[in-house]
Structure 1
Amino acid sequence: MSVILCTAGYDHTIRFWEALSGICSRTIQHPDSQVNRLCISPDKRFLAAAGHHTVKLYDIKSTNPNPLLTFEGHTGNVTGVAFHCEGKWMVTSSEDGTVKIWETRSGTIQRSYNHGSAANDVVIHPNQGEIISCDRGGSVRVWDLAENNCSHQLIPEEDVSVSSVTVASDGSLLCAANNAGNVFVWQLLTTYERTQLVPVTHFSAHKEYITRVLLSPDVKKLATCSADHTAKIWEVANVAATPPSDESSSSSLSAAGAVVSPFMSNGTTTSINGHHDPEKTNGTDGSNGSSSVTAGEPKPYPLEATLTGHQRWVWDCAFSADSAYLVTACSDHYARLWELHSQQVIRQYNGHHRGAVCVALNDYSEAR
C-alpha cells in the first residue's frame, strides 16, 4: 500500500480508502467511542486512533480488526496524537488537561505534562526534542524534552481557546489557530541550543471557529478548516511586521526563557474559561512573568483558495506529500480530495453514516 488514506468520526468506524478510486478497502469497528484523531506512523505500519480516554494502535497491513495495543491513562477525550519520526514514542493531548508521552511498544506512559486546561492539540517539532501543544484556556506551550519542562508559553488572544497548532517540516514556523477564527504565526529560531519564537503575522482567517490549521510539507501553503463549512489555503509569504526594538525584544524574554506572545500580553498565570477550573501553575508548567512586545501591524498571508462545497463543519485536513492535494473531513459524512491548483474536488469518499471528523494520509515514498 503505497498510499495510506483513512478517515473516522462519529459512526464508530475507521475506514481505509483507495485514494484514487474512492473505494473503501477496509472498515474497522471502533465500538468504544467516536474517533477524534488519526495518525499514521512514518513507516506506514501502524494507525493510531484517538478516542474517549484511550488511543488504539492498529496494524495497517494486517486484516486483524482488533487493536495491537490500547493506550490507557487519559481521563477525557484524546484530542491529538503524533508519532516520533522513528515510531519509538507517541505523544497525545487530552481534554483532561494533560499531554502524555507513551512508549510505543509497551504502551506505558513515559511523561505527563499538565496544562491546567483542556488540551486541544499536540505536534512534535522536527528536531524530535520539543513538543508543542495548545489548550482551551488560550495557551500555546513548547515543552523541552531534554530539560523536561515548558520552555515557552504563548497566549495569542486572551481567554480564546487555541484549537490547533502546526509546525513546519523544516522547523522554521509555528502556527496556531483559535475559536475566534484567527491565525497566529511565529518564526522558530534556535540560538545557543535554545528555541526563540519571533512573531511573523496574525490575521482573521474565518468568521467561525477554526478546527484545524496545517502547514504543507513544502512549507509554502497553510490550510485552515472551519465551522463556516469551508477550508482555505493561504500562501506562506514573507509578511513580517516591523520588528520590535532591541530593548522591547530583550524584555520579552524572562530569565527562564518563556516568551509571551506580542499579540496579547499576559501575566504569570493562564486565563481559563468558565467551563474548566484553573489550576495554579508552577515552575514545571513554565509560567514565567514577562512583558509583552509591541510590533508593527502585520500583513495577513495571501489567500490562495477557498474550498467550498462542504455542507457542515470541516474538521480536519491532510496534505499529500507533494503539497499539491488536500484531503478534508466534514460533518456532512464525506471526505474529499482536492486538487489545489484547480481548487476542484477530484474524489469524494462516501461511506460514513455520521460526521467524518478526522483524516490521516501517508503517501510518502517507501524510501523516505
Structure 2
Amino acid sequence: MSVVFATAGYDHIIRFWEAPSGICSRIIKYPDSQVNRLEITPDKQFIAAAGNPVIRLYEILEPSAMGGDERDQQAVLTLEGHGSNVTSIGFHKDGRYLYSGSEDGTIKVWDLRSPSYSRSFDVGAGVNSVTLRTDRDQFVSGDQNGYVKIWDLGGNGCINSLKPRSAEGTVPIQAVDISEDSRTLVAVSNHGSVFVWDPTSSVGSEDDNSTMRPVKKFRAHPPGTYCLHGKIAPDCRHLVTTSSDGTAKLWDTATWELTHTLQNQKWVWDAAFCADSSYLVTASSDHVARLWNLQKGSVVRQYHGHQSSVTCVALNDSSV
C-alpha cells in the first residue's frame, strides 16, 4: 500500500481517502468518543485512534479485502489505562511500541503485544503533546502548566524541565516536536508563541540538558487566537503551526520567517506533511480536510464527507 491517508473527528468516524481523487475509500466507526489523534504504524499495517479515554488499533486493509460493513470493523487491540482524553500518540520507528499522553497527567508506553501499558510517567499536569527523540531514546512533553519536560526512557524519569515565558506570561504548551535530525526542538503555546531550542548544543556542561541553547522565540498567530498544533517537516526545513484563526502557517526553520499562510474556513486542528515535505494536509472545523502544494501555497484537493469538525489527520506515503 503506497499511501495511507486518514482523517477523523467529532463525528466518531475514521475516513480513509484516495489522496489524488478525493474519494473516501473506507470508513470505520469509532465507538467511544470523538477521535483526538490518529497515527499510522511505520509499516502501514495498522492505524491507532486516540479518544476518551482509550486507544484503539485497527488493521489497515485494502478495499478489496473488506467484507461486510467496514463501519463495524473491530479493533485488533484496545489500550486501556488512561483516565481522561488521550491527546497525543506516536509509534517507535520500528513499530514495537506506542507512546501516549493524556489529560490525566501521564505519559504511557505500550508494548503492542499486550493491552496493558508497560511504563507510566507522572507529568504532574494534563499532557497536551508528546514526541520521541530517537537519538537519545527520550520523550519530550508539553503540558497544561506550561512546562516542556524531557523524560529518560532508561529509567531516570524527568531529566529536564523548562518553563518558557512570553509576553502573555506562562500559558499551556499545546504542542512539542523535535526534528528528525534532532537539531531543532520546538514548543508552541496555546496563545501562539513558538519557542525554539537546539537540543544538541549546550551553554553549560555536555550532560546538562537544562542549558539547551535557545534559538528563537516568536509569535506565530495573533493575540486573542489559539494555536492548536505544531509540527516540523520530515526534511527539517519547515515548521507548520495551526490556529483558531483559520490558518495553517509555514515557517522556514533556517530563518524563522513566514513562507506561506494557508487559509481555511474555520479552526485548523491538525496538519500532516507528506514524506518528502512538498505537500501538507490540514484538518478543520469546517468539516473539510485539505491537501496543499507547499511550493505554491495553494489547495490541490479538498476531502468532504465528515459531518462535524475534523480534528486529526494521519498520512504515511513513505517508501520505506
Say whether the fold is shared (TM-score over 0.5).
Answer: yes
Tell me if 1:206 matches 2:221.
yes
The one of 88, 93, 103 aligned to 2:101: 93
1:41 matched to 2:41: yes
Deviations 1:120-167 (A, max 9, x none): 011111226101111111011110111431111111125301001111
Paired with 1:76 and 1:128, the residues of 2 have a C-alpha distance of 29
How many residues are matched? 303
Aligned 1:58-137 pairs, distance under 5 A: 58-61=58-61, 63=66, 65-127=73-135, 129-137=137-145
1:166-215, CA deviations, whole angstroms, 9 ceiling, x for partnerless residues? Answer: 11011111101011111011101178677562110010000211111010
- Counterpart in 1 of 2:28? 28
Q: Given the two structures, how large is their TM-score scaled by the length of structure 2?
A: 0.92
Where does 1:1-12 land on structure 2 (aligned, <5 Å)?
1-12=1-12
d(CA) in 1 for partners of 2:215 and 2:206? 21
Aligned letter for 1:203?
Answer: F
Give the Cα separation in 2 of the matches to 1:121 and 1:129.
Answer: 17
Greater Rg by CA: 1
Map of 1:16 onto structure 2 = 16
Residue matched to 1:303: 258
Aligned residue for 1:171?
182
Structure 1: how far apart are the matches of 2:115 and 2:284?
Answer: 31
Q: Which residue of 2 aligns with 1:285?
A: none
Q: CA separation in 2, counterparts of 1:194 and 1:105?
A: 36
Q: What is the alpha-carbon distance in structure 2 between the residues aligned to residue 224 and residue 126 of structure 1? A: 23
Counterpart of 2:302 (choices 327, 331, 348) is 348
Residue 152 (str. 1) matches residue 160 (str. 2): yes
SS in 2 for 1:25: strand
Provide the alpha-carbon RMSD of the alignment: 1.5
Identity of aligned residues (%): 48
1:168–1:219: 8 Å Cα contact kept in structure 2? yes
Alignment of 1:181-330 (within 5 A): 181-189=192-200, 195=209, 197-207=212-222, 208-237=225-254, 301-308=256-263, 310-330=264-284
| Deviation readout 1:64-105 (Å, 9 max, x if unpaired) | 611000000001000000001111111100000111111112
- C-alpha separation between the residues in 1 aligned to 2:265 and 2:172? 24
User: Residue 82 of structure 2 aligns to a residue in which SS?
Assistant: strand
Contact 1:126 1:170 in 2 (8 A): no
Q: Secondary structure at the match of 2:38?
A: strand
Counterparts of 1:347 and 1:43, CA distance in 2: 26
Cα distance per residue 1:30-84 (max 9 Å; x no partner)? 1210000000011111100000010000001263611000000001000000001
- Three-state SS of the structure 2 residue aligned to 1:113 is strand
User: Unpaired runs of 5+ in structure 2?
Assistant: none
Contact 2:85 2:104 in 1 (8 A): yes
CA distance in 1, matches of 2:138, 2:149: 10
Distance in 2 between residues matched to 1:98 and 1:159, nearest whole Å: 21
**Paired AA for residue 260 in structure 2:** A
Measure the CA separation in 2 of the matches of 1:226 and 1:187: 25
Instruction: Name whichever structure is richer in strand by fraction.
Output: 2
Q: What letter is aligned with 2:59?
A: D
Unaligned runs of 5+ in 1: 239-300
In the alignment, which residue of structure 2 is the partner of 1:57?
57
- Per-residue CA deviations over 1:310-352 (Å, capped at 9, x if unaligned) read 1211000000111110000001000000001111100000010
2:316 is the alignment partner of 1:362: yes
Code of the residue aligned with 1:148 in structure 2: it is N
Q: Does the aligned pair in 2 maintain the 1:85–1:128 contact within 8 Å?
A: no
**Matches of 1:31 and 1:312, distance apart in 2:** 26
Contact 2:164/2:170 (<8 A) preserved: no
Q: TM-score, normalised by structure 1?
A: 0.80
Structure 1: distance between partners of 2:135 and 2:121: 19
